[in-house]
Chain A
Amino acid sequence: METVTTHRASGPPAAPSDEPILEVQFDDLEQQHEASSVGMWVFLATEVMFFGGLIAAYAVYRAISPSEVALASQHLNVGLGCLNTVILLGSSLSMALAVRAAQLQSRRNLLWFLAITAALGACFLGVKAVEYYQEYREHLIPGWNFQIPAQVAAKSSSLPLDPRRFEMFFVLYFFMTGLHAFHLIVGIALVSVMALLTWRRWFSGSGETQIEVTGLYWHFVDVVWVFLYPLLYLIDVQS
């Protein structure tokens, strides 16, 4: 929604105007900046509740069937999950540097940092795709090709394990990581648009507000992963 305030001049080589466009409902630029920022924070509050509902469902099933959840979690690739965490934290660093560059009006740095951010986001999605493919190969996708792995089936005859809860973990895993990936795709699109606007000098002003608000969103998507990673991957790493 923050792109609402961006302004596109008619021709690509137009000189950047020094002042951002002031929308008619605002009194001054400071008010306009504040509204965009508060708007994004409120939107992120909505998003927290969105993931919160899922995490509540996860918590219920983890509480009522801890051993199945722990067993299922071992079928995830912790190494790739860890790699993805590093990638996403790195992208947050470069996003923070991009916001700083926008504030300093350093267009060259801004472009570079935006490009790095988007590229790291794409890397994350690539790694995630590899993981999904591995899970597909292991027949772990519920509703498509799910089969209880042989060693789990063997265990469940000796232990009181409910194989349906084992499958449930993967339902939640795909729903949560899928929703996160969707948010990341939106984030990459946003960052790319910001990079394009900067590159073609289509911002009126330096685009500081827009970059900052995009940054808030990006950091949020990153933080969601910081919660998902331990919740899904690190349940029972030792065994």
Chain B
Amino acid sequence: MSAMAVEFKEDYLQAYRLKSWLLTTDHKRIGLLYMATITFFFFVGGAAATIMRLELMTPKGDVLPSPDAYNRLFTMHGVVMIFFFLIPSIPAVLGNFLIPLMIGARDLAFPILNLLSWYVLMIGGSIAIGILIFGGVDTGWTFYTPFSTMFSNTMVVPAATAVFIAGFSSILTGLNFIVTVHTMRAPGMTWFRLPLFVWALYATSLIQVLGTPVLAIAVALVAVERLLHVGIFDPALGGDPILFQHLFWFYSHPAVYIMLLPSMGVVAEIVPCFSRRPIFGYKLIAFSSVAIAVLGFLVWGHHMFVSGQSMYAGMIFSFLSFMVAIPSAIKVFNWTATMYKGSVRLDTPMLYALGFIGLFTMGGLTGLMLASVAIDVHVHDTYFVVAHFHYIMVGGAVMGYLGGIHFWWPKMSGRMYSELLGKLSALTVFIGFNLTFFPQFVLGYLGMPRRYYEYPAEFQVLNVMSTAGASILAVGYVLPLAYLLFSLRRPPDAGPNPWRASGLEWQTDSPPPVHNFEEIPIVTRGPYQYSPEGAEAIDGNGDDASR
């Protein structure tokens, strides 16, 4: 126990030199490094989206020089947003920051590995930015063969390399979380006293560890075929393009749950806190996270209904895709039931969480439509699909991420932000998002295909609505960046527990000391001890005052 003598009174932000950040092994600082990185990538991907929406304002191609430039643009939008923003978003930022705090540990199990995973992402990200500068890729983020291996004359191999490398960052993060949750819980922190955010990230980590290597193999084989001109996926050389799609979606469908499950975890923290009610159905929510992770591995074929897989495979994948709706719906119903008869307060994090619930429900229900083979054949590769997955990834994952950032910002920085601007941003994002993507459902159903540079004039009204929505959405995303950074100018004023939340992370100072806790807490109760009358039972000293 001699190591415990090395306790610091200062909070973790106290050293300012660049070196103290680049060589840090503190999980909280690494979380902030990730936050800066992915914020950068978010705005890069967002810039690509902005140009695309401008291009699509008119039926003729006029903003971009060529259809080819448009292809490169949507590919970079997809690659950057998925591999360099959404996949690392909540796990690497909030997960890194919060898991040790939530389970009562001084750090993750492997702090140096944690720092390494950030550097690995930076290497992959630098390659991605290099590709962007030196010409881009035009295959779409899916790298479908044989176009990617034999016909595209853009930078496919560097893009595959960037994705391959970024994958290792994801694997290392997931590995670290699994080991930490298994071995580092504070005394008394049983599995069923873990916050649901930790359950969600545990399930996410399982996907990262088990899915990512298959993507790595798929893109490595693409690179081999492209470089050596040997047939693996190209039918002209004796390969099988469907095999690539199987390998690719074996990861890339579960990857949707890498983006979504952590957001569900965030919502499960926010909703009870701002309803002053214990979470309804704790175990069901916990197990539904694991169920989503497991079932998520069995549904990849629903991306391939029209790819030539067998009819029976299509039927089974369709059935299994419907199964995923069950644990997802369990979560939605339980969050809603938590609010029932609660003292609901509509602070900024709660607005984001409510936005998540609404948008995720929309995204999930349209997902069921797409899981039905007949409807999918009809709307395959149209804007209906684009709208659906943006409801899940942006309406779901990004709303959850922003909700989490607003919820834990006082803990991370020690500062409160302007509540008025916060509410404004949540509303702007919600309105802008729906205006952007709801018209796309209609467009897709009317038959507008995705990934096209020009379109018939009859689709223009809906496209103009979508572009107008995107500009509102952009305001909603820039606002938090501005007022959150602005809040840093003030002295720390948040106090340890501004939301009167009951999790372990709120019992230490804001910002937390270097090794999180003055003394490792002994846990004697579950994470959601709220009561609607006013939760005075919970205060900062870790004792169970309600007994």
- Residues of A at the B interface (CB closer than 8 Å) are 1, 4, 22-28, 31, 34-35, 38-39, 42-43, 45-47, 49-50, 52-54, 56-57, 60-61, 64, 142-144, 146, 162, 164-165, 167-168, 171, 175
Contact = CB atoms under 8 A, between A and B. Distances in A.
A171 B213 contact: no
Nearest to B216: A50
Q: Which of A24, A43, A142, A167 has most B Cβ within 10 Å?
A: A24
B239 A168 contact: yes
B232 interface: yes
B232 A35 contact: no
Nearest to A60: B243
Contact of B2 (A4, A22, A56, A146): A22
B228 interface: yes
B217 A46 contact: no
Contacts of A52: 213-214
Contacts of B111: 23, 25
A47 B213 contact: yes
A54 B221 CA distance: 9
A45 B210 contact: yes
Contacts of B298: none
A39 B109 contact: yes
Main secondary structure of the interface of A (DSSP, over half): helix
> Would you list the 6 A-B pairs with minimal beta carbon distance, nearest first?
A164-B238, A143-B228, A53-B217, A25-B107, A50-B213, A53-B214
B515 interface: yes
A49 B231 contact: no
B175 A43 contact: yes
Contact of A34 (B105, B183, B216, B221): B183
Contact of A24 (B106, B183, B246): B106
7 contacts: A1-B110, A23-B3, A24-B106, A25-B111, A57-B243, A168-B238, A171-B231
B18 interface: no
A42 B217 contact: no
Contact of B112 (A4, A46, A54, A143): A4
Given A35-B109, A46-B212, 19 more contacts: A24-B106, A27-B1, A38-B178, A42-B179, A42-B209, A46-B171, A46-B209, A49-B209, A50-B213, A53-B214, A53-B217, A57-B232, A61-B240, A142-B228, A142-B230, A162-B238, A164-B237, A165-B238, A171-B230
A108 B57 CA distance: 76
Given A1-B110, A142-B230, A171-B232, A26 B178 contact: no
Q: Which of A23, A57, A175 has most B Cβ within 10 Å?
A: A57
B146 to A, nearest CB: 13
B227 A143 contact: yes
A167 B230 contact: yes
Contacts of B250: 53
Nearest to A146: B230
A31 B216 CA distance: 32
A6 to B, nearest CB: 12
Contacts of B105: 25
Nearest to B108: A25
B313 to A, nearest CB: 13
Given A31-B183, A164-B231, A168-B231, A54 B110 contact: no
B218 interface: yes
B110 A4 contact: yes
Interface of B: 1-4, 6, 100, 105-113, 171, 175-176, 178-180, 182-184, 209-214, 216-218, 221, 224, 227-232, 237-240, 243, 246-247, 250, 515, 520
Contacts of A39: 109-110, 175-176, 179
A22 B3 contact: yes
Contacts of A175: 221, 224
Given A1-B113, A46-B171, A60-B243, A25 B230 contact: no
A50 B251 CA distance: 11
Nearest to B111: A25
A197 B218 CA distance: 38
A30 to B, nearest CB: 10
B3 A26 contact: yes
Contacts of B228: 142-144, 171
Contacts of B183: 31, 34-35, 38
Contact of A167 (B109, B221, B238): B238
Contacts of B3: 22-24, 26
A211 B443 CA distance: 61
Contacts of A34: 182-183
Contacts of A142: 228, 230
B247 A57 contact: yes
Contacts of A25: 100, 105-109, 111, 184, 515
Contacts of B178: 38, 42
A49 B217 CA distance: 9
Contacts of B209: 42, 45-46, 49
Contact of B1 (A1, A28, A164): A28
Contacts of A23: 3, 111
A46 B171 CA distance: 8
Nearest to A39: B179
A68 B187 CA distance: 60
Q: Which of A4, A42, A50 has most B Cβ within 10 Å?
A: A42
Contacts of B182: 34, 38
Q: Which of B109, B113, B232, B250 has most A Cβ within 10 Å?
A: B109
A23 B205 CA distance: 24
Contacts of B231: 164, 167-168, 171
A171 B227 CA distance: 12
Contacts of B4: 24, 27
A56 B247 contact: yes
A164 B229 CA distance: 12
A49 B224 contact: no
Contact of A168 (B108, B218, B230): B230
A147 B109 CA distance: 51
A46 B217 CA distance: 12
A208 B243 CA distance: 44
Contact of B229 (A26, A54, A57, A143): A143
B175 A46 contact: yes
Contacts of B179: 35, 38-39, 42
Contacts of A24: 3-4, 6, 106-107, 515
Contacts of A162: 238
Nearest to B210: A49
Contacts of B180: 35
A35 B210 contact: no
B224 to A, nearest CB: 7
A64 B175 CA distance: 36
B301 to A, nearest CB: 14
